[in-house]
Chains A and B, each alone.
Chain A
Amino acid sequence: MTAALRFDPIRLPEKCEQLRKEVRAFLAEEIAAGTFDPHKPNREDTDVPEFSRKVGERGWLGMTWPKKYGGHERSFLERYVVTEEMRVANAPTRRFFVADRQSGPVLLKYAPEHIKMEILPRICKGEICFAIGMSEPNSGSDLFAAKTRATKTDGGYLINGTKIWTSSAHIADYMIAIFRTSPPTKENRRHGLTQFLVKMKQPGIKVNPIGQITGQYEFNEVVFTDHFIPDDHVLGEIDGAWKQATSELAYERSGPERFLETYYVLTELVRAVGNNPDTRSAEGIGRLVAQVHTMRRMSVSVAGMLQAGKEPVVEASIVKDIGTIWEQQLPHRVRELAAFVEETATNRETLEKQLDFATKTAPKLTIQGGTTEVLRGIIARGLGLR
């Protein structure tokens, strides 16, 4: 089994380096134009439709998808470069990120042709926003406890129940959700869930905001009351969504966004410390850089596996597990070192504000996208322990 845990030292091809330059130049232009401030990860509005459209125009959405759906048939490694540059710059990616990473690939695999033709090109243009409707008030880690019902009716289904913690539901055009179409069976408690494409802003859907401890507003409660979904919006197998939903999560787990969410505090610490660090600061920074470097090398390696057509479920879970723990610890480690920063450091205030925000962000990192304990269960299964 251990032989499968190899993270080969993938080197990004020259093409990627060219692309990286283009992305950096684009982001620099946007920053100069005031579209966003890279030093303010805590800005109020992370949804900037104008920015989203521009990213689409550049050809950086749906990068790996077929051209006939508006995609660009480029590699996972190229997509990787775009994602990490956006993340490191704190670019406002809310509108397109989930659609590009996760929902689009699900539609590509399971949606009927006419829906693919209708929606995928618009994702590529950066026009539409997706939400993921998995969690429910009594079903988070235990996805298969979901109760929101889809009852068969003429030409479709009627939905009743509540989804929760749904990121971006308030701005989303669509949601990919799982609903209960039959009860679980004795033999298989995962049975009975079906994946649907939900058109938001329709009758029978109410989105209620939920505030977060960071002061931001990202996630929501979504209440369905006799909301109608037509038959052709069923995605994949009736009652068999568990396979689909769990493979969808693999896309969510190993990307650069899984270890770079609080990265900005490290850059700001280096700025505050200046060119001539004392020993303690130098050591602290060195250790943190070694960590982020290693995480990135692992994450790039997983992108290489995806590009080679492999399904690195265990590897992706490992990257998510140690990646989120790393990004969760980062603000605390930076805080320890920030205590020694000179009063005169010009960016002292920025660093403090960033630390404040990153420290408030940290608690969610090991929860979103599957909690650490559940991921470790997946890794344990990969090791042959269950």
Chain B
Amino acid sequence: MAESENIVAETAEKIFADLADAQTINHDKKGEWKAPLWQALTDAGLPLSWVPEDCGGSGASLAEGFSVLSAAGRFAVAVPLAETMLAGWLLAQAKIISPDGEMTVVPASPKDRITVSADGSLSGRARGVPFAKAARHFAVLASDAKGSFSIALVDAGKCRIESGLNLGGDQSDVVTLDKVQPVAIKPAPHGFDQTRLLLMGGVARSLQIAGALESMLEISVRYSNERVAFEKKISKFQAVQHNLARLAGESAAALAAATSAADAISNATSFNDEVFLEATAAKIRCAEAAEKGGGIAHQVHGAIGFTIEHILHRYSLRALAWRDDFGSESYWAVELGKRVCVRGADELWPLVASR
């Protein structure tokens, strides 16, 4: 996944650098930056990265798409890029053609269920759905009375949406489907279930969190080399250096966990325990890094980092908010712990050392 070999990620990086500069966005109170950015991303085919060409997408590999998300995290972009990519990926599992425009996935949280009735209509409630309000379509995973899963494309206008905001100030909404007839619905592939969808979303969020931490490290190091206190640059104080070294450690750990999970999913032939470990561990470790690393970044920035004028919150609050999407770290820790215990003590090391 070396960046230089990845033209898709380079394209994304360039678009973000040109159109999603954190400083500009932060000062644009009306959100006028959004439309040109989304247009450029769409022109480059990025929102449908994971959709094969014959389903209307640009057919990038999973690995290429994951590095787009890494870049999106570094810029902490608040447009539904990850969500549309995930939705396109989900629809493609059932060979449903992706429409144009913003999409998101439903459900986005492990406790929520969408059900499909005998007449093919969908019902249920999903909380914490990122960018539901901005989406024109939803990619929905639903199960029937027998527990078989279907994937559906739904017109967002047919659903009830209660607006909400996450910690980072991005849309995080409640979506209610009341006997909604989908635009298209097909059975999910054999073995595809809600866990798989949520873990895919979790790995996407892990990469975004890791990217945000990279940026927090960068701006914190830069700030410490500019700010003078007690007649010294604060970067010269050992205590500050040690804080930044810890932030570097958290950022590195998050990136290592997230890229490892992305690599595992990209190359998996089956969704086995090793892939489950990789994906859950990434979400858990990245969430912990967001907490510890974000705390340090704010500490180093002093009061200025606490202001709405400064860009730090763009990264720190989003990294914290992303912990909750597609299953929180506590949720996945319980699931991982259960799976480890079922396998038994003597199988733990072989699992950890499986790659």
Residues of A participating in the B interface, judged by any CB pair closer than 8 Å: 1-2, 5-9, 11-12, 20, 84-85, 88, 266-268, 270-271, 273-277, 279, 281-287, 289-298, 300-301, 314-315, 318, 321-322, 373, 375-377, 379-380, 382-386
Q: Please name 18 further chain A to chain B contacts, defined as beta carbons within 8 Å, in addition to the given A2-B251, A383-B217, sorted by A numbering.
A: A5-B252, A267-B345, A268-B345, A275-B344, A277-B341, A282-B334, A282-B337, A285-B336, A286-B338, A290-B257, A294-B253, A294-B256, A296-B353, A297-B256, A301-B256, A380-B241, A383-B244, A386-B241
Given contacts A5-B248, A376-B245, contact A277 B337 (CB under 8 A): yes
B274-310 toward A: CB 8 Å interface, digit per residue (1/0)? 0001101110110010000000000000000000000
Contact of B340 among A268, A276, A289 (CB under 8 A): A289
Q: Hey, which chain A residues are within 8 Å of B332, CB to CB?
A: 286
B260 in contact with A9 (CB, 8 Å):
yes
Measured in the bound complex, the distance between the Cα atoms of B337 and A279 in whole Å is 9
Say whether A379 contacts B248, CB under 8 Å: yes
From residue B117, how far is it (CB to closest CB) to chain A in Å? 33
Interface size on B, residues (CB 8 A): 60
Whether the pair A1, B221 counts as a contact (CB closer than 8 A) is yes
Instruction: List 12 A-B residue pairs with CB atoms under 8 Å apart, sorted by A's residue number.
Output: A11-B355, A268-B345, A271-B345, A281-B337, A282-B333, A283-B337, A287-B284, A322-B250, A322-B253, A376-B242, A376-B245, A379-B248
CA separation between A292 and B161, bound complex, in Å? 41
Given A2-B218, A282-B334, A384-B225, the answer on whether A270 and B252 have CB atoms closer than 8 Å is: no
Whether the Cβ atoms of B344 and A270 lie closer than 8 Å is yes
Whether A9 contacts B352 in the complex (CB less than 8 A), given A2-B217, A267-B345, comes out as no
Say which residue of A279, A293, A377, A379 sits within 8 Å of B249 (CB atoms).
Answer: A379
Q: Which of A5, A286, A385 has the most CB of B within 10 A?
A: A286
**Quick one: which of B252, B263, B344 contacts A9, CB cutoff 8 A?**
B263
Taking CB atoms, residues of chain B closer than 8 Å to A270 are: 340-341, 344-345, 348
- Contact, CB under 8 Å: B341 / A282: yes
| Alpha-carbon distance between A300 and B257 when the two chains are bound, in angstroms | 12
Most B-side CB within 10 Å, residue of A5, A7, A297, A375 = A297
Q: Which residues of B contact A380 (CB under 8 A)?
A: 241-242, 244-245
Q: Determine if B230 is an interface residue (Cβ-Cβ < 8 Å).
A: no
Among B214, B267, B341, the residue within 8 A (CB) of A275 is B341
Contact between chains at B285 and A290 (CB < 8 Å): yes
- Say yes or no: A383-B248 contact (C-beta < 8 A), given A286-B280, A286-B340, A377-B238: yes
Asked whether B118 is an interface residue with its Cβ less than 8 Å from the other chain, the reply is no
**Residue among B236, B253, B329, B332 with max Cβ neighbours from chain A (10 Å):** B253
A315 CB to closest chain B CB, in angstroms? Answer: 7
Asked if B235 CB lies within 8 Å of chain A CBs, one says yes
Q: Does B24 contact A (CB under 8 A)?
A: no
CA gap between A286 and B250 in the complex, in Å: 19
Tell yes or no: B224 within 8 A of A by CB: yes
A7, B259: Cβ atoms under 8 Å?
yes
Q: Once the chains bind, are A321 and B249 in contact (CB under 8 Å)? A: yes
Closest residue of A by beta carbon distance from B215? A2
Report B48 CB to chain A, min CB distance, Å.
25
B252 A385 Cβ-Cβ under 8 A: no
Known: A296-B353, A383-B221. A277 touches B333 (CB 8 A): no
Q: How far is the CA of A14 from the CA of B225 in the complex (A)?
A: 46
Chain B residues, CB < 8 A from A291 = 285
Check B2 for interface membership: any CB of A closer than 8 A: yes
- Is B125 in contact with chain A by the CB < 8 A criterion? no
CA–CA, A297 to B353, complex, Å? 9
In the complex, the chain A residue whose C-beta lies closest to that of B284 is A290
For residue B83, give the distance in angstroms from its CB to the closest CB of chain A: 24
Nearest-neighbour CB distance to chain A for B263, whole angstroms, equals 4
Proximity bits, B1-28, A CB within 8 Å = 1, else 0: 1100000000000000000000000000
Chain A residue at minimal CB-CB distance from B256: A7
B221 touches A385 (CB 8 A): yes
Given contacts A298-B253, A385-B235, whether A285 and B337 have CB atoms under 8 Å apart is yes
User: CA of A12 to CA of B241 in the docked complex: distance in angstroms?
Assistant: 34
Please, which residues of chain A bring their CB within 8 A of the CB of B333?
Answer: 282-287, 290
Chain B residues 217-245 with CB under 8 Å of chain A are 217-218, 221, 224-225, 235-236, 238, 240-242, 244-245
Docked pose: A144 CA to B224 CA in angstroms: 29
B245 contact set on A, CB distance < 8 A: 318, 321, 375-377, 379-380, 383
- Nearest opposing residue in chain B for A322, CB measure: B249
Question: Taking the nearest CB of chain B, how far is it from the CB of A374, in angstroms?
Answer: 10
In the complex, whether B183 has a CB less than 8 A from a CB of chain A is no
CB distance from B229 to the nearest CB of A (A): 15
B353 partner residues in chain A, CB cutoff 8 A: 20, 84-85, 88, 296
Residue B246 CB within 8 A of the other chain: yes
- Chain A contacts for B224, CB-based, 8 A: 385
